[in-house]
Amino acid sequence: MWYYLDNKKKKCGPVADAALNELYTKHIINQDTKVWSRGMQSWAQLKSTDLFRQFGRKTYTRLKELSNATKLFRGLLSAFTILVFLTLLIDFKRLAYFEKLLVSPDTSSTFLKCVGLEYHKISFLTSLVLFILLLFIAKAAQNWIFTIVSNLRALDKSCRLSPSFSGWSLFIPIVNLVNPFIVVFYVYKASKNANGKALNILDLNFLILWWFFTLFELLILFFQKIWFSGFVSIDAAKGILIFAIYHTVILTIACIFWIVLVSRIFLLQRKIFYK
């Protein structure tokens, strides 16, 4: 981490190697700017440091790639959240319809079978659309994680995370239950540290809730496919719809947490370059 003196001789920082390179590229500092880092006995001109001789020789950051990856991932998540919310409204209307049927004296099994078939056809088509969109989201998530880890490795030379493994860990059984949380936790913490801030209890609670709702949603989806196959009574139909509503609410919350998380990490990493 580096400190530098601006035009008014005011001490600024700390900033990472890549951030100092960005400041130099944008002409906010120049080769004569006084800089200091841990291990140096005194302030020195930027041009006299080993770091300056590396400027221009390699790409320090994937900030532009991260911006594009974040916009795509966040856009797909937002579209998915809107569609999920619409299915929630439809399920509420269906639930109100079944509430009316409950007061009816008789409801034949044939009628229930027809209603059940209609429900499952619509649910299947809705699920198919959401599933296709989810495939694009999964690819965008992999690319986003690959990019944030690559960017972090440029910002923090001590980072030992593998961009490729971090991205693929979303799809590796067992590993995907823990590793994505570890990766995002490390990236979030390192990004805050690069901004001169420490991870606090609110950040930790946010990350835990984000991962809890993500895994809880997957668990609910698994049991929904096992337990519910058809309507045998109005009460059973109500139960299926109520479960579907709870599932959709959890899914919506998980999506919102993802959108906030993606935006937060991007803003933290971008802020490093504009201190």
Domain segments of the chain: what residues? 2-54, 63-274
Q: Which long-range contacts (CB under 8 A, 24 or more apart) does 36-43 make?
A: 36/2, 36/3, 36/4, 37/1, 37/2, 37/3, 38/1, 43/5
As a whole number of angstroms, the distance between CA 194 and CA 179 comes to: 22
How many helices (H) and strands (E) the chain has is answered by: 7, 4
Give residue-wise pLDDT tens across range 116-157.
556 666 767 777 888 899 999 999 999 999 999 988 887 666
pLDDT at residue 139, rounded to an integer: 95
Phi, psi of 35 (to 5 degrees): -130, 160
Give residue-wise pLDDT tens across range 224-275.
655 555 555 556 666 777 777 888 899 999 999 999 999 999 998 887 765 5
Cβ(55)–Cβ(29) under 8 Å? no
What angle in degrees, to the nearest 10, is found between the helix axes of 234-271 and 109-155?
10
Candidates 3.40.50.300, 3.40.50.620, 3.20.20.105, 3.30.1490.40; CATH matching 2-54: 3.30.1490.40
User: Which segment, 40-49, 61-70, 87-96, 224-233, is predicted with the most confidence on average?
Assistant: 40-49
Read off the pTM: 0.72
Residue 148 vs residue 100, higher pLDDT: 148
Give residue-wise pLDDT tens across range 160-215.
889 999 999 989 988 999 999 999 999 999 888 877 788 999 999 999 999 999 99
**Cα→Cα distances 118→124, 133, 201, 230, 241, Å:** 10, 23, 48, 11, 13
At residue 60, the 3 state secondary structure works out as: coil
Rounded average pLDDT over 106-124: 60
pLDDT at residue 206, rounded to an integer: 96
pLDDT at residue 116, rounded to an integer: 57
pLDDT of 159 higher than 90 = no
pLDDT at residue 110, rounded to an integer: 55
Rounded average pLDDT over 220-226: 68
Structure tokens at 184: 């995002």
Structure tokens at 211: 């991962």
pLDDT at residue 57, rounded to an integer: 47
pLDDT of 93 higher than 60 = yes
As a whole number of angstroms, the distance between CA 208 and CA 13 comes to: 30
As a whole number of angstroms, the distance between CA 250 and CA 245 comes to: 9
pLDDT at residue 112, rounded to an integer: 55
pLDDT of 101 higher than 80 = no
Residue 171: partners with Cβ closer than 8 Å, 6 or more residues away: 138, 142
Residue 54: partners with Cβ closer than 8 Å, 6 or more residues away: none
pLDDT at residue 59, rounded to an integer: 45
As a whole number of angstroms, the distance between CA 7 and CA 42 comes to: 19
Phi, psi of 61 (to 5 degrees): -145, 155
pLDDT of 58 higher than 50 = no
User: Taking the CB of residue 32, how many other CB atoms lie within 10 A of it?
Assistant: 9
